[in-house]
Amino acid sequence: MVGIIVAIQYGIYSVEVDGVIYQTSPRGIFRKNHKKLAVGDRVILDDANFIITNVLDRTSFIKRPCIANVDQIIITFSLVEPDFSYYLACKYLTYANSLGVSSYIVLTKIDRAIEENQINEIINNFKTIGVKVFLVNNKTGEGIEEIKSLFENKISCIMGQTGVGKSSLINAINPEYEREIGEYSMALGRGKHQTKEVILLPFSGGYIADTPGFSSLELDLRKDEVSKCFPGMEKASLKCYYSNCLHISEPKCEVKKMVEEGKIPSIIYESYLQLLKEVEENE
């Protein structure tokens, strides 16, 4: 039988096969070969003992949070508490691009929004670099129907900072999930963790992965990788005169040209320089 791992807790693997959940464990050979299975892995169960005997090839793998075979990442940000950050948005998008996984941005807490023209500015700036932004209100359901189609027949990973409303978003999509909701701490300036593990929730022919929130996201990338994976720069960097162009002060840089022409918003480019500096300091 072929199934998919939907949760791993305390060494017990929950594998779904045609709507039936089997609580099982992998053969000892996996431990002997130091092969670690992840939520999202497609596995083969022994028909007699329902033990995991083999794992199918992965189409993608995210190291943090640990999840396999993701089709897309839904990067979730709140407009307030915590406040929206271009830098963090671009950092998450760069992370998704480095994994070769498509991504979208969902903005929550629009009922407590900043001025409307600022929201439109966020949408237009990301539209300029080919990133689609969705607006939702988890409490009233505004915008929820529009994003439901994103999840059809795909494994989608909802990712973002702690406290931005990931679990609330999942509950708004399907109230039957009843995911535990955290709070935002004004004293700490960040959210309180509620989701402790990665879990796949079936939805519309696919799965929605609820993941623990990040207090910080570290990119395991070199500067030249950031320059090629940063949103809006993937194709442009191929036209730069130098193949290792970092888009700072190099001559005949296509990215710098696009910034000057307004094809890459200056606030996006400033986020790129900030991320490049962070990676450089880490190196």
Residues 28 and 127 in one domain: no
Tell me the CATH number at 29: 2.40.50.140
Residue 196 confidence (pLDDT): 63
Which H/E stretch holds residue 68?
Answer: strand 67-68
* Inside any domain, residue 217: no
The average pLDDT across 67-83 equals 91
Q: Which residue has the tokens 């700072």?
A: 248
Residue 157 confidence (pLDDT): 94
Residues 52 and 165 in one domain: no
Residues 199 and 240 in one domain: no
Q: Are 46 and 69 in contact (CB under 8 A)?
A: no
Residue 32 confidence (pLDDT): 72
Residues 77 and 155 in one domain: yes
Residues 101 and 165 in one domain: yes
Based on the number of CB atoms within 10 Å of its own CB, is 208 exposed (0-12), middle (13-18) or buried (19 or more)?
buried
The average pLDDT across 179-199 equals 48
What band does 65 get if pLDDT is binned at 50, 70 and 90? confident
Report the share of the chain in percent with pLDDT over 70. 92
Number of domains in the chain: 3
Residues 53 and 66 in one domain: no
Angle at 216 between CA 80 and CA 7, to 5 degrees: 100
The average pLDDT across 132-158 equals 92
Residues 74 and 142 in one domain: yes
The average pLDDT across 14-36 equals 87
Bridge partners for 54 per DSSP:
44
pLDDT(243) > 50? yes
Tell me the CATH number at 120: 3.40.50.300
* 153-174 confidence digits (pLDDT tens): 999 999 888 888 888 888 889 8
Q: Are 158 and 208 in contact (CB under 8 A)?
A: yes
The rounded radius of gyration (Å) of the Cα atoms in the chain is 20
- Residue 4's alpha-carbon distances to 68, 154, 279, in angstroms, are 10, 13, 35
Torsion angle in degrees (nearest 10) through CA of 161, 82, 265, 274: -70
Residues 201 and 238 in one domain: no
Residue 161 confidence (pLDDT): 84
* Inside any domain, residue 255: yes
pLDDT(111) > 80? no
- The amino acid that residue 130 corresponds to is G
Residue 191 confidence (pLDDT): 39
State how far the Cα of 77 lies from the Cα of 222, in Å rounded to an integer. 26
Angle at 96 between CA 95 and CA 99, to 5 degrees: 90
Residues 78 and 161 in one domain: yes
Taking residue 272's Cβ as centre, other Cβ atoms within 10 Å add up to: 25
Q: pTM here?
A: 0.87
Range of the domain at 47: 2-57
Mean pLDDT of the chain: 87
Residues 6+ apart with CB under 8 A from 259: 266, 269
Based on DSSP, count helices (H) and strands (E) in the chain, helices before strands.
8, 15
- Which range is least confidently modeled, 21-30, 153-162, 177-186? 177-186
State how far the Cα of 132 lies from the Cα of 126, in Å rounded to an integer. 7
